[in-house]
């Protein structure tokens, strides 16, 4: 730390920058800071280095900025670099393990003693103490980067200006920045829904500011996000159908929770028996609405917000289902495998196919193609009526009828 950065010693620049940063933290609510220093008590010689030279100079306390600033002013760089022992000792510096405990490590050298920082870093993480990503290296050779990867994402500061910028950014992220979690709630108001894209727009505009794929962390809680607290937001959650929350204002310097009700279940569309052919899609709509919500292929499962849906199945003839999606449950919509109608003739015909319904009504299915003499239709199981006339015969008296039945995965042929 006694090496030069321009015309000043690195230690003097580091102290001045750190004092400015500590001073900037005045007034931040719910924040306590402490100062641990190493390599400042015992001089290093050609034959000796004090690997126990680490000391908590300022314990955690509220409004102790002046005390810490005075301690920083008195620091002199004398000794070695016992990073691992300092990290290990810092675990007992924190008075409350239920708080958000952060270490910002500033060093101009790698580990100089015999201890293994990576092992210590793992122990600290096990105690809920966060090191990553707040390691700032002052003027270090970039080849040493790998020495810091195990316990923090290394931030390089190659000169005084870079150190000031890096330290400011780290403090903003670690200590000051507003944090947010977005709770996507189930029907029971628990934040367990996840894995969906979220858009945060500047409120009242189409200016997209942030895009996140919602995630639950290793504790099963919504991930913590860092966003600008000086803006107002409109949140769009891209569920089916989408959910939104408008005019969101964040409280600075604290952890904000945004609650959105997005209870979801599943619709699964399957063939009742495996078909020999035919790929079919369905159209899913909110019950009673005409707008298509999703085109879902048979053989797939899709999440939907809890509620009632109309499913139109694009078989021939159409089939319909109305289903209730419940929280975390899968509702299955079954589709019969089609059968095949083969039509063969010597000359083209004009005509239509109708389905005889169970209530006795007859419903149109399709028109025959008039430009061919042979055709094939994949139809749902059921009873049908074929009405047709040869095109060249110009009298309605030549109309003919054929009754037929279709079974799944079976073929029938009709000669016209």
Per-residue pLDDT tens over the stretch 83-115: 888 888 888 888 876 777 888 888 776 667 866
C-beta neighbour count of 162 within 10 angstroms = 16
Q: Check: CB of residue 111 under 8 Å from CB of residue 83.
A: yes
How high is the pLDDT of residue 132?
46
Residue 211 has pLDDT above 70, yes or no: yes
- Calculate helix-pair angle for 117-126, 83-90, nearest 10 degrees: 10
Architecture of domain 264-335: Sandwich (2.60)
The pLDDT of residue 6: 61
Phi, psi (rounded to 5 degrees) for 97: -80, -5
CATH class held by domain 339-415: mainly beta
Question: Using 50, 70 and 90 to split pLDDT, how confident is the model at 274?
Answer: confident
In the numeric block, which tokens belong to residue 318? 């159409």
Q: Do the domains spanning 179-261 and 264-335 agree at the CATH topology level?
A: yes
| 151-174 per-position pLDDT tens digit | 555 565 666 677 777 777 777 767
- Residues 4-16, mean pLDDT to the nearest whole number: 75
Per-residue confidence at 179, pLDDT binned at 50, 70, 90?
Answer: confident
Query: Is the domain defined by 179-261 classed in CATH 2.60.40?
Result: yes
> Averaged over 196-216, what is the pLDDT?
96
Tell which wins on pLDDT, 197 or 275: 197
pTM of the predicted model, to two decimals? 0.64
Query: Helix (H, G, I), strand (E, B), or coil: what is residue 323?
Result: strand
**CATH number for region 4-175:** 3.40.50.410
CA dist 56 and 128 (Å) reads: 20
13 confidence band (pLDDT: 50, 70, 90): confident
Does residue 149 surpass a pLDDT of 70?
no
Identify the weakest region by mean pLDDT among 86-90, 235-239, 392-396: 86-90
Q: Where are the domains of the chain?
A: 4-175, 179-261, 264-335, 339-415
Q: What is the three-class DSSP state of 24?
A: helix
């Amino acid at each position: 730390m006694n090496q030069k950065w321009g015309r000043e010693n690195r230690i003097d620049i580091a102290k001045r920058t750190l004092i400015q940063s500590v001073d900037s933290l005045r007034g931040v609510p719910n924040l306590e800071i402490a100062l641990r220093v190493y390599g400042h008590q015992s001089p290093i010689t050609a034959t000796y280095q004090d690997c126990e030279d680490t000391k908590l100079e300022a314990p955690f306390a509220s409004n102790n900025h002046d005390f810490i600033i005075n301690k920083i002013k008195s620091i002199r760089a004398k000794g070695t670099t016992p990073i691992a022992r300092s990290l290990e000792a810092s675990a007992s510096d924190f008075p409350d393990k239920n708080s958000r405990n952060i270490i910002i490590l500033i060093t101009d050298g790698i580990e100089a003693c015999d201890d293994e920082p990576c092992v210590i870093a793992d122990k600290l993480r096990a105690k809920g103490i966060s090191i990553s990503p707040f390691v700032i290296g002052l003027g270090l050779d970039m080849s040493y980067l790998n020495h810091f990867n195990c316990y923090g994402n290394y931030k390089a500061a190659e000169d005084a200006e870079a150190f000031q910028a890096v330290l400011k950014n780290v403090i903003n992220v670690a200590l000051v920045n507003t944090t947010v979690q977005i709770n996507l709630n189930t029907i029971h108001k628990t934040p367990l829904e996840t894995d969906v894209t979220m858009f945060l727009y500047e409120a009242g505009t189409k200016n997209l500011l942030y895009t996140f794929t919602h995630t639950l962390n290793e504790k099963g809680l919504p991930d913590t996000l860092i966003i600008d607290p000086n803006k107002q937001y409109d949140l769009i959650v891209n569920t089916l159908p989408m959910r939104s929350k408008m005019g969101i204002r964040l409280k600075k310097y604290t952890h904000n929770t945004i609650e959105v009700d997005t209870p979801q279940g599943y619709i699964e569309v399957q063939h009742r028996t495996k078909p020999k052919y035919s790929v079919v899609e369905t159209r899913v709509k909110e019950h009673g609405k005409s707008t298509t919500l999703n085109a879902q292929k048979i053989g797939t499962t899709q999440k939907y917000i809890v509620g009632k849906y109309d499913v139109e199945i694009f078989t021939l003839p159409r089939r319909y289902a109305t289903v209730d999606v419940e929280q975390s449950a899968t509702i299955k919509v079954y589709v019969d495998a089609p059968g095949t109608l083969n039509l063969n003739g010597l000359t083209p015909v004009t005509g239509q196919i109708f389905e005889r319904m169970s209530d006795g009504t007859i419903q149109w299915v399709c028109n025959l193609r008039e430009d061919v003499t042979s055709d094939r239709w994949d139809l749902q199981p059921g009873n049908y009526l074929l009405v047709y006339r040869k095109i060249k015969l110009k009298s309605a008296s030549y109309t003919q009828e054929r009754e037929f039945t279709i079974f799944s995965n079976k073929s029938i042929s009709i000669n016209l």
